[in-house]
Amino acid sequence: MAAAAPPPSSLGTRSSASLRTPSNLLFSKIPSLHSPPPSGCLRLACRSQLRSFDDSQNWITVDYFPSVDPIHVIHGSSSAASIPMAASAGLDSAAKGAKKVCLFYCAETKPLAERVAAQSDYIELRSINWRTFDDGFPNLFIPNAQGIRGQHVAFLASFSSPRVIFEQLSIIYALPKLFVSSFTLVLPFFPTGTSERMEDEGDVATAFTLARILSNVPISRGGPTSLVTFDIHALQERFYFGDNILPCFESGIPLLKNRLQQLPDSDNISIAFPDDGAWKRFHNQLQHFPTIVCAKVREGNQRIVRLKEGDPKGRHVVIVDDLVQSGGTLIECQKVLAAHGAAKISAYVTHGIFPHKSWERFKHDNGGNPEDGMTYFWITDSCPQTVNEVMNKPPFEVLSLANSIAASLLI
C-alpha cells in the first residue's frame, strides 16, 4: 500500500470585491484581506519520494509547498509569473480550503449584510423566509438547510424593538443545530445595555437578562457560539455572559479616527466626553487628542452639564459617546463648549438610537455658529432604522461597520 501523499498547498489567490456606496457611507477595506506577505518572506518547497511496501521499483515524486495563510495573498502579474507550475496548481485548492462563511440576516440588516459580503469573496449571503401565521406569530423557514452542514455560519441581528427579538432568537437557536462547523452571532448594538444595574430594590437589570438568553444559544459542532458586538454600554457587562458563548467586543472608534484624519482641520481637533463614563470607555483609544471632560451636576431637580477639565477655545471639538437617545446631554454639552469658545462642534456616537425621531433636534451649523448647530454628527450603521431616516441629512454622516464585521467573521 502506498503511503499517502502530503496535503496540497493552501497557497491561494482571490479577487477583491468592489462596492458602490452612497457618498455619505464611508468604508475602508480590510488590510488583512489585501496586504501582501512581508517582504523577504521565503516559501520553501520540498521534494519527497514515496515507495510502496512491496519493494518494487515504482517511485512517486511529490512536490510539496508548505501552506500559508490564505488571507495573505500575492498581487501583481510579475510575482505570479515566477510561481512554479506545481505551486500554481495548488492555488485553487487553497481557495477551496479557506474559511468561508454563510451569512444570514434579518430584514432590517439586509443592506448592512450586503456591505459585509462585499468586503470578502469568502462571505456568502443566505436568506431566510420571514413569514407569520394568521395570529401574528412567526412561521419561519431556512431554505436549503442541509446545504449549510459543515459550513461556518453567521447571523446578523438587529434587536431594534422587543417585538422582533423573538423571531430572530428562534433563528439564532436553530442555526447551530443544523450540523454547522461554527456559529457566530453579530449583534452590533446590544440594546439593553443602559439597564445594567439595580438602583432600587425591584429594579430589573434587563442587560443581564438578555445576556443570559444569548448565553444559552445551542452549541454547534465547532463549540460555543461567538458573539460580536460593538461598544457595549457598560464595561462590566462583558461578565454577564456565561461560558457557553464567546463575546467579542469590538469598537467603532477606529472608524471615527480614520474620518478625523480626513478633515482639513485635523490638527485642530479636541475630543470632549460628556461625562466620566464616556471618558472611561474611550479615552485610551483617543489619548493622542487633547481631551475635554464635562460633568453632570445636580442643581435642585435639574441636571446641568458643566466643563470639568480642558480648554475648547478655538478648537474643533468632537463630543464622543457610545450611544444617543433623546440627545439632551449632547445638546447641553454643545452649549457649554460653545460658551467656552469652541470654533466648531461635532459629535460621534456608535449607536444612534434616536427614538421618536429625536435626531431632528440636531441642526447643521452651516459653516459657523457652533451654539446653534453641529458641523458633523457621525453615527455607525448599527441601528439600521436610524440610518434610513438620517440619510443625506446634514450634519449626519454614517460610518459603516461592514469592514469590521467582515474581519471578525473571518477570524
Distance between CA atoms of residues 333 and 203, nearest Å: 29
Tell me, yes or no, whether 319 and 282 share the same domain.
Answer: yes
Of the candidates 190, 273, 291, the residue with the CA atom closest to the CA atom of residue 231: 190
For cell 394568521, name the residue. Answer: 134
Q: Are strands 302-309 and 291-299 parallel, antiparallel or unpaired?
A: antiparallel
- 253 alpha carbon, distance to own chain's centre: 11
Residue 6 lies in a domain: no
Side-chain-side CA neighbours of residue 125 (13 Å): 15
Helix (H) or strand (E) holding 229: strand 225-230
The pLDDT tens digits for 156-176 are 999 999 999 999 999 999 999
Give 155's strand partners: 104, 185
- The residue among 81, 97, 113 that closes a domain is 97
Residue 207 lies in a domain: yes
Residue 103 and residue 154 in contact, taking contact as beta carbons nearer than 8 Å? yes
Tell me, yes or no, whether 113 and 240 share the same domain.
Answer: yes
Domain that holds residue 294: 253-380
> What pLDDT was estimated at residue 299?
74
Residue 51: count of CB within 10 angstroms of its CB: 13
Residue 20 lies in a domain: no
What values do phi and psi take at 209, rounded to 5?
A: -60, -50
pLDDT band at 73 (very low <50, low <70, confident <90, very high): very low
Tell me, yes or no, whether 234 and 126 share the same domain.
Answer: yes
Q: Are strands 123-125 and 129-132 parallel, antiparallel or unpaired?
A: unpaired
Question: In a 3-state reduction of DSSP, which class is residue 105?
Answer: strand
Residue 126 lies in a domain: yes
Tell me, yes or no, whether 227 and 243 share the same domain.
Answer: yes
Residue 194: count of CB within 10 angstroms of its CB: 15
Residue 397 lies in a domain: no
Tell me, yes or no, whether 220 and 360 share the same domain.
Answer: no
Tell me, yes or no, whether 196 and 179 share the same domain.
Answer: yes
Cell of 247: 463575546
The pLDDT tens digits for 221-230 are 999 999 999 9
- Cα dihedral 110, 112, 114, 115 in deg (nearest 10): 170
Distance between CA atoms of residues 104 and 204, nearest Å: 32
Tell me, yes or no, whether 79 and 179 share the same domain.
Answer: no
DSSP per-residue letters across 129-168: EEEE-TTS-EEEE-TTGGGGTTSEEEEE----SHHHHHHH
pLDDT at 35 over 60: no
How many structural domains compose the chain? 3
Distance between CA atoms of residues 366 and 360, nearest Å: 16
> What pLDDT was estimated at residue 25?
52
Tell me, yes or no, whether 238 and 278 share the same domain.
Answer: no
Average pLDDT over residues 293-302: 81
Mean pLDDT, rounded, of the chain:
82
Q: What residue type is 198 in one-letter code?
A: M
Average pLDDT over residues 119-134: 97
* Greatest Cα-to-Cα distance within the chain, rounded to the nearest angstrom: 98
* Sequence-ordered alpha helix ranges (H) in 249-339: 253-261, 276-282, 328-339
Three state DSSP letters for 123-135: EEECCCEEEECCC
* DSSP E strand boundaries for 300-367: 302-309, 316-324, 344-352
Tell me, yes or no, whether 244 and 372 share the same domain.
Answer: no
Percentage of the chain lying above the pLDDT 90 cut? 65
Of the candidates 113, 24, 22, 407, the residue with the CA atom closest to the CA atom of residue 251: 407
